[in-house]
Amino acid sequence: MEASREFVYQKFTEYYQDPSTLIPATTMPEQREFAYLMFKERFMVRHRRFAEFKNLRSALAETVPSDVYHSCAYYENPDFDMDKKGWLGADLVFDIDADHIPTNCDKIHDEFTCTKCGFSCRGIIPETCPACEATKFEAKTWPCELCIQSARDETAKLLDMLENDFGFSQDDLHVYFSGHRGYHVHIENEAVRSLDAMARKEIVDYVTGLGLGILDKEPEEKRGKSVASKKFSLHNFGWNRRLKLGMQNFLLNATKEDLKKAGIRNNALLKNRETIIKRCINEGRWESINDVSVQTWLKLAEYIRDSQSSKIDTVVTTDIHRLIRMNGTLHGKTGLKKVEFPAKNLQTFDPFTGAVAFKKGTTKVLVSDAPEFRLGGETLGPYKNQTVELPVAAAVMLICKRRAVVAN
């Protein structure tokens, strides 16, 4: 193995072998499938069962995987083949990853190379290669602060719905930084365990605002006719309340530009904002302003729905056999750890200090290309083709991100 990978492997080994490393116990480990990606061989070991958590700890110290996962599901026989495992239930999990969220940074820090034709470009990874239409890429990504903030905002909307609309308590909501550029929310509450894939899809639809009665009806052309006779109304619970508050907020602050973004041409909404808010939103007399039609309200409500929905990775939540990264273990793409923090600290928890696993020592690396970044309380970079002595955590991250090699 080349020196740089060997260096990272060494650090991962120290982490998993250090008895003072805190790895919180997984709930009911004996009923979970554990899986891990082998550091050197790069294959996934699946269907492992650990009757006791301490056995898992020793297995990690011995094998030193690059990534560790466990099933959200509980099984009678977690070490059997999938069809013989005997599914007993599963946690309800949500994954919010900057990869799936449009951001202001436009992901210019990411770079992808087509594995078929070698076409390479910066920015968001496309579905298919612009040069040859192949679909496999080598990606170089970066956990940038804007990306993480956007994931944090989406997580905040999700937590708000889980608490206020679904009625989970803060204690039910286990919130984690994923170790890369996103967040996970796990609910282990008994009430969710038996939900099947269909029921989970319903929850996904709610969170993403899909199929809201008031908005998703007949197609546009039909709507034109029926809409004149239709009344617009919103009640005070769940999404209706969310739309109302969002619309009120929008009206208070909107500029002409914002209207345009919402696809609304008519500027009537900006005149007499106070009257409109009072009569239409507060008193529910939506048709009391001549220049503001039901269509306009629908358009605005759609826009608010899109901004208030949470951009979760929908596949993760509906998959009742899903493997998810284990709390307290290292992410192979960053060397940061997945770490839990209280839901109420979402805005204040700083992954670039709180998820740092390697806190001692420095090492010399040759950095090809890195933007300015913050890690472990220090601001580092930008670097371009230069040898620098870095804290171990930063060196590990740059090597994992394939932006540096060990120097000498």
| Interface contacts to Zn ion, rule CB under 5 A | 105, 114, 116-117, 119, 129, 131-132, 134, 144, 146-147
Task: State whether residue 318 is helix, strand or coil.
Answer: helix
For 382-394, b/e burial (b = at least 16 CB within 10 A) is: ebeeeebebbbbb
Judge contact between 68 and 338, C-beta under 8 A: no
Separation CA 405–CA 408 (nearest Å): 10
Nearest-approach distance from CB 99 to Zn ion, in angstroms:
10
User: E strands of 2-55, at which residues?
Assistant: 34-37, 44-48
Per-position DSSP letters for 103-142, written without gaps between them: -TTTTTT-EEEETTT--EEESSPPSS-TTT----EEEE--
In the complex with Zn ion, which residue's Cβ is closer, 119 or 166? 119
Beta-bridge partner residues of 67: 37
Q: How far apart are CA 327 and CA 45, in angstroms?
A: 18
- Give whichever of 117 and 228 is closer to Zn ion, judged by the CB atom: 117
Task: Please say which residue, 44 or 117, places its beta carbon nearer to Zn ion.
Answer: 117
| Residue closer to Zn ion, measured from CB, 113 or 353 | 113
Q: How far is the CB of 334 from Zn ion (least distance, A)?
A: 14
Nearer to Zn ion, 98 or 304 (CB): 98
Could you tell me which residues come within 8 angstroms of residue 366 by beta carbon, excluding any fewer than 6 positions away? 385, 386, 387, 404, 405, 406, 407
* Residue 108 CB, nearest approach to Zn ion (Å): 8
CB of 102 to Zn ion, least distance (A): 11
CB 98, min distance to Zn ion, A: 7
Q: How many CB atoms lie within 10 A of CB 319?
A: 16
Name which of 116 and 140 has its Cβ closer to Zn ion. Answer: 116
**Cα–Cα dist 386/407, whole Å:** 10
User: At closest approach, how far in Å is the CB of 48 from Zn ion?
Assistant: 35
